[in-house]
Structure 1
Amino acid sequence: MPPARPTGDAISSAGIDLAEIETFLAVAETGSFSQAAERMHITQPSVTGRVQRLEAALGTILLTRSTRRVELTDDGKRTEAAARAALHGLRELVGEFRQRVRQARQRVVIAATPMIAALSMPAILHAYGERYPDVEMELLDVKHSEALSALDRGDADVAVMSLDEIDLSNYKFQHLWSGTMVLVVPSIHPLAGLERVGARELAFHPLMLIEQYLPVRARIAEAMEKQGFSLPPPKMVGNLNTLMGMLDARMGITLLPNGMAERCRDVCIVPLEVEGLTLTRRFGVVFPRKADLSAAAASFCKFLERAVAGDERSIPQSKRT
């Protein structure tokens, strides 16, 4: 039986909240209340409550639960399409307003993934700030998926990140450098004494990984399967700092960009050689396709390009991570 329909105008009288719409879309995308809760950083009962309030406001059922996943009703599908269009338009509008404010204030916000934010950006931002002291700079240290979300919301002007394993069809981007992923093992690990590690050796050692490197692991697993080997399930780690701590504690092996691996202590860097596998990743700058960069943001992108090319003498070579 559908929820009771409120009298009068549904939106004005029931007060539909933006969070309710975003939560409903998260459930629709993931097909799971628990996964939606994780994405929204709230509890599962809160997800259920928000969806129920939205259904009550609209006077219809939007979702049905099956044994395996959550399914959209016909009204749910219509609501999803309308909600996505409305949110997209609102985000574009907010992004334009925020960009206009930053342009007036000569402010540039850069979203960068943790490894780039820690190793590459500080020296570049310092050098840029010395050359352009009137420009206010802000660095957002965010996960891979959150960097694009920051661009979509208008919270960041540009993102510096890996260009692989993501859909960049809605963005402009520029490839600036490439880096190789290497196997990093504690110095006392059985693999530490090998000149190289292949599919046979890796089949007995699970990788400690952050979520960002799951696509890389998938490529390794696919290449190993072609040779008749299976890659053990990974040990997932919440963030880069935890991963580095576990590596220091000699709790396992991991994959890291070569530039960061060289900074680790008491470890061995071992080339991973699996037939048909290439572990080179592309890195660069990403920005919204529809939005024009401010003069300050465009200036920073040019400076970043020169720095990566080695034209800025004040920039250390640690940028190649």
Structure 2
Amino acid sequence: MSRINFDLQQLQAFVAVADKGSFRAAAEHIHLSAPALGRRIERLEELLGARLFQRSTRKVQLTRVGQAFLERARGALDDLEAAVLGIHEISAHHTGRVTVACLPTAAVTLMPQAILSFCQAMPRVHIRVIDEGMNEVAASVVSGEADFALGFAGMLDSGLAFEPLWKDPYVLAVRRDSPLARKRRVVLDDLAQVRWLTVARTSRNRQVLDDYFAAAGKSPQAWLEAGHVATLLAMVDAGLGVAMVPATALATDHPSIRSVPLAGLDLHRQIGLLMLEGRRLTPVARRFYDHIKASFAQLGAARPARGRR
């Protein structure tokens, strides 16, 4: 064992290459030149007496030894950070970085207050929010770009663990000056002469809605599509039509749009936290994960009622 003398930076370099799948991307991520990164990996392989990566001109892949060593390396780095910082004693003086991926609707309506309360306790932690559609949210967690994500279940990528938080019902978004806004609920027949707006087919929200209406045998024909729910609501606000959106999109009182339940519609998306199966979050990322979980836990009972305004 005398020859095993790991350098912390060698372990960090190894994990970075494993996460990014590229020496160049890993070097940029840890702010190191590619040659210097390569030397750290070579030195680590010499110490282990085994190759950790299979290299080609197109891609870099872990060897069997590399796969077995990866989780041990992650654990060693996490344990070291926890030992130095004290995972139960993280204070306002602690610094760190957390990247969370989040659906745009939640990023606008829910995440700001959660981040504010977290930063009041830990003001020196830097937070990056990746506010994209569900496809991009899932991909950012799989690639390691995001520590974890707030998203919804259904058609999840393999290797992702999902912790449910609340059910987010779909509601009909209408302008407050529309006759439909005076109804307690509407039926599809009420929408026969109304222009129907929807998100694009690439959106997972659209896939949820299409699957539901196809099974029900009633598929409203949209005349306008938009890439994001926020854009869709702007179109509703402009008087271009009505749209089915998650209640989260109208979490705060909107001055000109009201959400109305669609009669007989039992449709919702399950919102929760996503992370890679088996991945150990850094202490500060775990602290933020638990904070998000606690902040949104009460929405399980409150969200359906708040969606009907």
TM range (shorter): 0.5 to 0.7
Is the Cα contact below 8 Å between 1:207 and 1:254 reproduced in 2? yes
CA contact (8 A) 1:179 1:258 kept: yes
Please give the TM-score of this superposition, normalised by the length of structure 2.
Answer: 0.61
Give the Cα separation in 2 of the matches to 1:231 and 1:87.
47
- In the TM superposition, 1:106-117 aligns within 5 A as 106-117=96-107
Alpha-carbon separation, structure 2, partners of 1:149 and 1:156 = 9
Corresponding position: 1:118 with 2:95: no
Change (3 A) 1:219 1:188: farther
The match for 1:267 is: 257
Supply the AA of the counterpart residue of 1:121: M
Q: Residues 173 and 233 of structure 2 are in contact (CA less than 8 Å); yes or no, is this contact kept in structure 1? A: no
Give the Cα separation in 2 of the matches to 1:126 and 1:138. Answer: 13
CA contact (8 A) 1:248 1:265 kept: no
Match of 1:218 in 2: 210
TM-superposed CA distance for 1:116, in Å, is: 0.9
Answer whether contact 1:208 1:253 (CA < 8 A) is retained. yes
Q: CA deviation at 1:206?
A: 4.5
Seen in structure 2, the aligned counterparts of structure 1 residues 87 and 179 have a Cα distance that, compared at 3 Å, is farther
Query: Where in structure 2 are the equivalents of 1:126-165 lying within 5 Å?
Result: 126-163=116-153, 165=154
Distance 1:122 1:253 in 2: 27
1:179 aligns with 2:168: yes
For the pair 1:249 / 2:238, whether they are aligned, the reply is yes
* SS of residue matched to 1:214: helix
Q: Report if the CA contact (8 A) 1:161-1:284 is conserved.
A: yes
Tell me which residue corresponds to 2:159.
170
Give the 4+ runs in structure 1 shifted more than 6 A: 95-101
Deviations 1:8-50 (A, max 9, x none): xxxxxxxxxx9xxxxxxxxxxxxxxxxxxxxxxxxxxxxxxxx
User: Kindly tell me: are residues 88 and 153 of structure 1, through their superposed partners in 2, closer, same or farther at Cα, counting changes over 3 Å?
Assistant: farther
Distance 2:191 2:235 in 1: 19
Give the drift of 1:294. Answer: 1.2
- Cα deviation, 1:258-301, whole Å, max 9, x if unaligned, reads 24335322233221013xx4122211110011422111111111
Q: Residues 58-108 of structure 1: CA distance to partner in whole angstroms, max 9, x if unpaired?
A: xxxxxxxxxxxxxxxxxxxxxxxxx9x957759x99x9999979x977321
Secondary structure of the equivalent of 1:161?
strand
- In 1, the alpha carbon distance for the partners of 2:156 and 2:61 equals 17
Residues 283 and 120 of structure 1: CA distance in aligned 2, closer, same or farther (over 3 Å): same
For structure 2, the 5+ residue unaligned runs are: 1-20, 22-55, 82-94
Amino acid at match of 1:113: L
Q: How does 1:65-144 map to 2 (within 5 A)?
A: 106-144=96-134
Structure 2 partner of 1:303: 291
- Paired residue for 2:282, among 294, 307, 313? 294
Kept in 2: contact 1:185–1:254 (CA 8 A): yes
Select between 113-122 and 130-139 the one with higher mean Cα deviation: 130-139
Aligned to 2:173, what secondary structure does the other structure show?
strand
Give the TM-score taking structure 1 as reference length. 0.59
CA offset digits 1:210-267 (Å, max 9, x no partner): 2342123214422541xxx442135210234422321221111012232433532223
RMSD, aligned CA: 3.8
Name the SS for the 1:292 alignment partner: coil
C-alpha separation in 1, matches of 2:175 and 2:221: 18
**What is the identity, as a one-letter code, of the residue corresponding to 2:175?**
P
Measure how far apart 1:110 and its partner are.
0.3
**Corresponding position: 1:197 with 2:189:** no
Residues 224 and 231, structure 1, Cα contact 8 Å, conserved in 2: no
* Alignment coverage as a number of residue pairs: 226
Instruction: Kindly indicate whether the alpha-carbon contact (under 8 Å) linking 2:198 and 2:222 is maintained by their aligned counterparts in 1.
Output: no
